[in-house]
Amino acid sequence: MKATYQKYILDFKKPSGTSRGIITQKETWFLIFENEGKIGIGECGILRGLSADDRPDYEEKLQWVCSNISLGEKVLWEALMEFPSIQFGVEMAFRSLSSKTPFLLFPSEFTSGQKSIPINGLIWMGDEGYMKQQIEEKIAQGFDCIKLKIGAIDFEKEMQLLQFIRQNFGPEAIEIRVDANGAFGKSEALDKLNQLSGFELHSIEQPIQKGQHDTMSFLCKKTNLDIALDEELIGVFSFADKETLLQKIQPQFIILKPSFIGGFRGTNEWISLAEKYKIGWWITSALESNIGLNAISQFTFLKQNPMPQGLGTGALYTNNFDCPLEVKNGALFYNPELDWKVNFD
């Protein structure tokens, strides 16, 4: 058995606004396993400045994996505890290698084209006009759940955007999720959450910066607006620490990004704890290429969570890989009649 890795730079069609500024490119890495004429591909999706494994020794760890592939998936996964995106790449590559084809990881009614996954439409940060344009486009495309990134422009203007949606669409027609990416200060957070709750939102992701567990716990108890933890889960590696975090904060929801939390196994650990403590959850991609998105989507379908999931970023890039994933009427479909075209050059 042979293993290699490859770096790949994804180019955005248009500069995209995030809580960490404007991004035009996104770096990702692929693990490629070969055995007896079969190939397995796994994506290690890292986001610089956010991923727990954004470290100087990242490529060195990829080299280590390729040199120690004979240890097997379980031993490698446990040895990669502080490299969750590589954990995911290893899991994906082994699953890909053992599958009928490299991209059919979890055969189901989703991969046969019979069923789809409901998803939210993502509204990127930008000026008021650009965000309003995106909202109108998503609604026209049939989305009944949209997610707005907030905290980048003036709070009053963001409130006006929410007012614009609610004047035209009630909560029974459009579910609104907002993501603050930690933009609110401790002293202002409760007041802002209470103002936002007037728009009958579904939830808000990460209102304050991660690591402020006492304040986050207080907000989850006091606000009328359900809170979802996102960045808060990054860098929490052991099962015991995961449980301690959820017991302490008691959020209404958690958001699970396999590239950030240790792949399939790490996601399953968080789900088991969420269900133990009656915390809602959904799964989200994290700007992976279509290879990573495909694996996450197939895994997500098996979980049978009826809530809209955070999938469907494939159309953002000019140099993504052609694949069977399609977004139609606010849902993600797998069209088995479409072929994969993968070239890392």
Write down the pLDDT at residue 230.
Answer: 96
**149-160 pLDDT per residue, tens:** 888 778 998 898
Write down the pLDDT at residue 280.
Answer: 98
Write down the pLDDT at residue 126.
Answer: 73
Of 154-158, 234-238, 335-339, the one with minimum mean pLDDT is 154-158
Write down the pLDDT at residue 4.
Answer: 98
What predicted TM-score, i.e. pTM, was given to this entire model?
Answer: 0.95
Place of tokens 């993501």: 179
Which whole number is the average pLDDT over 73-101?
Answer: 97
Neighbours of 300 (CB within 10 A): 25
Q: Is the pLDDT reported for residue 95 higher than 70?
A: yes
Mean pLDDT across the chain:
94
Write down the pLDDT at residue 328.
Answer: 93
Active site residue 257: yes
Q: Is the pLDDT reported for residue 134 higher than 90?
A: no
- Residues 189, 169: Cα–Cα separation, whole Å: 26
Which whole number is the average pLDDT over 185-201?
Answer: 95
**284-328 pLDDT per residue, tens:** 999 999 999 999 999 999 999 999 999 976 788 999 999 999 999
Which whole number is the average pLDDT over 324-345?
Answer: 94
Which whole number is the average pLDDT over 127-149?
Answer: 87
- Residues 117, 309: Cα–Cα separation, whole Å: 7
Task: Sketch the domain layout of the chain as residue ranges.
Answer: 2-98, 117-334
Q: Is the pLDDT reported for residue 246 higher than 70?
A: yes
Percent of residues, the chain, with pLDDT higher than 90? 81
Catalytic residue among 61, 147, 149, 192: 149
User: By CB neighbour count within 10 A (0-12 exposed, 13-18 middle, 19+ buried), where does 154 fall?
Assistant: exposed
Of 99-113, 160-174, 240-254, 255-269, the one with minimum mean pLDDT is 160-174
Of 25-29, 152-156, 187-191, 304-308, the one with minimum mean pLDDT is 152-156
- Residues 115, 113: Cα–Cα separation, whole Å: 6
Q: Is the pLDDT reported for residue 20 higher than 80?
A: no
Cβ neighbours for 23, distance < 8 A, ≥ 6 positions apart: 12, 15, 16
CATH architecture of 117-334: Alpha-Beta Barrel (3.20)
The first and second tokens of residue 102, run together, are: 């490299």
Fold match, 2-98 / 117-334: no
Which whole number is the average pLDDT over 217-226?
Answer: 96
Of 65-69, 153-157, 276-280, 327-331, the one with minimum mean pLDDT is 153-157
- Residues 237, 103: Cα–Cα separation, whole Å: 28
Domain 2-98, classified CATH 3.30.390.10, yes or no: yes
Write down the pLDDT at residue 17.
Answer: 62
Write down the pLDDT at residue 123.
Answer: 84
Which whole number is the average pLDDT over 141-154?
Answer: 87
Q: Is the pLDDT reported for residue 127 higher than 80?
A: no
